[in-house]
Amino acid sequence: MRPADLWRHSSFRLAIGVSLFVVTTLMLASGVGYGLMKSQLAARQDARVTEIFAAIERTILEGDEDDLIEAVDARIQASPDRATAYGLRSLDGRLLASNMGDVVVPAGWSTIEADRIGVATDYPYRVFSGEAGTYTLTVGLTNADLDDLQEIVLAAFGWAALASLLATVGAAMVLASRVQSRIAEAEAAAARVAQGDLLARLPITGRGDDLDRISQAVNAALERLSSLVEAMRQVSADIAHDLRTPLNRLRIHIEGAARKSASGQTAEDDLAEALAQSEMIDQTFSALLRIAQIEARSRREKFAPVDLAVVIADLADVYAEVAEDAGMTLSTDAASPAWVMGDRELLTQGFANLIENAIRHCPPGTAIHCAVQAIGNHVTGSILDTGSGIPAGEREKVLRRLYRLESSRTTAGSGLGLALVKAVADLHGADLSLSDARPGLRVELRFAALHNAR
């Protein structure tokens, strides 16, 4: 990666921003700490000056002038580098002892430059001057230690900040390079998808970081897209296969009606058959359109609390006589309440399709049972029949559009009933399952329960 491209990467900019924030915070905290330390050292220095002043003052009270001058001179001799400054004057202004020259210092605390007392350094002195008995005593200490400390601390802070910045820039470059590598792989996968390769997936390292989570979400979307495209391809093939026969029949009846009309014969039968074929084709396309609308999830805005037990009970009342006419029995076990959030019309149509399928494809004598159970956080609606059932290997296939079992091709229908049920289940987030009722088929939809709906 070229250095000029680094700034374009958000990971690099983020690392630099965090580094600057950390370094700035470190400098502020260090500055506060240094200020506190310096004030404490200055207080200790003032205390040391006060201690020396008090010691010399005791000498004044205990001895004569000669003893006092001797004591001050001894202290001056003990500080050849003049780290400690002394000055002793009589009240009339005579200079009795000093290593700071004939410098008049105002009473109290003050800071004087080293050159004023003849010391060739850049460090000032912290000085206290006051009366000690009948004398004026001045004591001072150089600020060399404090100034050296300041230089050392500032230099340490500067080098630490520089090292932090260099380390951060290096880490940011490595991070940006690694992120860019993963992004490049993701871009390559996206390019493959754009070219039609729906099997391409974004790389996942398994570390569980944010890029992995994004990749997993995108891969899930690609998986869904792949299944939808495959379903569309399958639907197109099924439409071409299953509608070719009724369209050919429609054409044959229209051509027959045209021939009969041209020869003066009546064409009512052919026209009636053509009308029936066109109505069947229209119903098929209407069902396909309805499934597409449901899958587009545009109906979710109509969701409201629905008592599924009431829906099943109403359907059982409607279809009881239809089942009886077909030589079957229809029973129900739907204890209210069983509240779910959904579209009442679609739920009614979905369970109606299941009941109609059982009546249409089962032989006389079949028992059909409709049930609703509300247990814990789930509501389950099921339609069970004692007919011939569906082979286990065909149960996933019958949920596809226009798919029909070979045994069902002689009966009326378009192969869209269960596909619509699946679309309704997906829209409501329900689990749809087909299982063996031993004998017969059990179709079950498991919804999330809606508590306190009323």
Co-location of 348 and 434 in the same domain: yes
Tally of domains in the chain: 3
Q: Is the pLDDT of residue 412 over 60?
A: no
pLDDT at 387 over 90: no
Distance CA 414, CA 408 (A): 10
Which CA distances in Å does 256 have to 243, 253, 262, 277? 20, 5, 10, 14
Q: 435 and 305 in one domain?
A: yes
With CA atoms as reference, report the closest residue to 404 among 253, 293, 243, 291. 243
How high is the pLDDT of residue 410?
47
The 10s digit of each residue's pLDDT in 307-322 is 999 999 999 999 999 9
Q: Averaging pLDDT over each range in 38-52, 116-130, 364-378, which range is the top one?
A: 364-378
Let me know whether 345 and 428 are in one domain.
yes
Q: Residue 392: which pLDDT band, with cuts at 50, 70 and 90? A: confident
Q: What is the pLDDT of residues 416-438, one digit of tens each?
A: 778 888 888 888 889 999 998 88
User: Is residue 247 in a domain?
Assistant: yes
Nearest to 52 by CA among 139, 133, 110: 139
10: domain range?
3-148
| Residue 409: band (very low, low, confident or very high) from pLDDT cuts 50, 70, 90 | very low
Domain match, 367 and 408 both = yes
pLDDT for residue 21: 79
Note whether residue 248 is domain-resident: yes
Examine the pLDDT at 388 and tell me if it is beyond 80.
yes
CA distance 342 to 308: 9
CATH number reported for the structural domain that contains residue 14 in this entry = 3.30.450
23 and 161 Cβ atoms separated by less than 8 Å: yes
The strand pair at 84-90 and 95-98 is best described as antiparallel
Same domain, yes or no, for 273 and 304? no
* Any domain includes 219: no
Q: Which among 66-80, 203-217, 237-251, 259-273 has the top mean pLDDT?
A: 66-80
Domain co-membership, 263 together with 346? no
Cα separation, 424 vs 302, in Å, equals 13
Tell me, yes or no, whether 271 and 326 share the same domain. Answer: no
Extract the tokens encoding 385: 């029949």
pLDDT value at 120 more than 80: no
**Two tokens at 109?**
């605390």
Alpha carbon 51 to its chain's center:
65
Both tokens of residue 72?
A: 């001050």
- Per-residue pLDDT tens for 201-239? 877 877 777 777 888 888 888 887 777 777 667 666 666
Distance CA 306, CA 426 (A): 17
pLDDT of res. 270: 76
Per DSSP, 329 falls in state E
* Confidence bin at 328 (pLDDT 50/70/90): very high
Pairwise CA distance, residues 201 & 197, whole Å: 9
On whether residue 373 sits in a domain, the answer given is yes
Task: From 111, 126, 148, give the residue that closes a domain.
Answer: 148
User: Residues 193-199: what's their mean pLDDT?
Assistant: 79
More confident residue, 248 or 135: 135
The neighbouring-strand residues paired with 448 are 378
At which of 100, 131, 148 does a domain end?
148
What pLDDT is stored for residue 451 in this prediction?
Answer: 76
What are the structure tokens assigned to 277, written together?
A: 């074929």
363 prior amide bond cis, ω within 30: no
Are residues 317 and 286 part of one domain? no
- What value does the mean pLDDT take over residues 33-45? 82
The answer to the question of residue 130 being in a domain is yes
* Neighbour order of strands in the sheet with 329-334: 329-334, 367-375, 378-385, 441-448, 431-436
Residue 177 within a domain? no
Residue 15 vs residue 49, higher pLDDT: 49
Residue 262 and residue 380 in one domain: no
**Residue whose structure tokens are 């850049």:** 122
328, burial (CB in 10 Å: exposed 0-12, middle 13-18, buried 19+):
buried
Predicted confidence band of residue 243 (pLDDT cuts 50, 70, 90): low
State which of 148, 163, 183 marks the end of a domain: 148
Residue 384 has pLDDT above 90, yes or no: yes
In a domain, 162, yes or no: no
Cis peptide before 3 (omega within 30 of 0): no
| Residue partners of 438: CB distance under 8 A and separation at least 6 | none
**Per-residue tokens: 168:** 């951060």
CA–CA distance from 401 to each of 235, 237, 441 (Å)?
6, 10, 19
Say if CB 68 and CB 60 are below 8 A apart. yes
Rounded (10°) angle between helices 344-361 and 417-427: 150
My answer on whether 435 and 377 are in the same domain is: yes
Higher pLDDT pick, 384 / 39: 384
Q: Which CATH number covers residue 329?
A: 3.30.565.10
pLDDT tops 90 at residue 329: yes
pLDDT at residue 53, rounded to an integer:
87
- Are 14 and 101 in a shared domain? yes
Q: CA Rg, the chain, in Å?
A: 49
The verdict on 354 and 268 lying in the same domain is: no
Compare 76 and 15 and report the one with higher pLDDT: 76
Minimum mean pLDDT among 108-117, 274-283, 293-302, 349-358: which range?
A: 293-302
Q: Is 189 inside any structural domain?
A: no
Per-residue pLDDT reduced to its tens digit, 271-299:
787 787 777 777 666 666 666 766 666 66
How does the average pLDDT of the chain come out, rounded? 80
Quote the pLDDT of residue 231. Answer: 66
Q: Worst-scoring range by mean pLDDT, 16-25, 300-309, 350-359?
A: 16-25
Cα(304)–Cα(171) distance, rounded to whole angstroms? 54
290 CB-near residues (< 8 Å, 6+ apart): 420
Q: In this structure, what are the phi and psi dihedrals at residue 107, rounded to the nearest 5 degrees?
A: -65, 145
